[in-house]
Amino acid sequence: MPGTRAEVEAIARLFSQMKKLLGFAATEQALEELADAGALKQFRYLHLATHGKLNP
């Protein structure tokens, strides 16, 4: 989605220690693998830039 990369890059400038998953690398499976490996324990914050469509 337009703007998502810019959003992530803006937030990334605020933190020295970070891991970015962008585009096709940003999958539920990738996040689960990081969690299962304990790699997420090193982070205090987790930011998910998501978008959805409402069809009322």
Residue-wise pLDDT tens digits, 5-51:
888 889 989 988 888 898 899 899 999 999 999 999 999 999 888 77
3-class DSSP assignment, residue 33 = helix
pTM, two decimal places: 0.69
Contact by Cβ (8 Å): 45, 28: no
Whether the CB-CB separation of 45 and 20 falls below 8 Å is answered with: no
Total number of domains in the chain: 1
Domain with 46, as residue range(s), is: 1-56
- Tally of CB atoms within 10 A around 43: 13
Give dist(CA 22, CA 40) in Å, integer.
Answer: 16
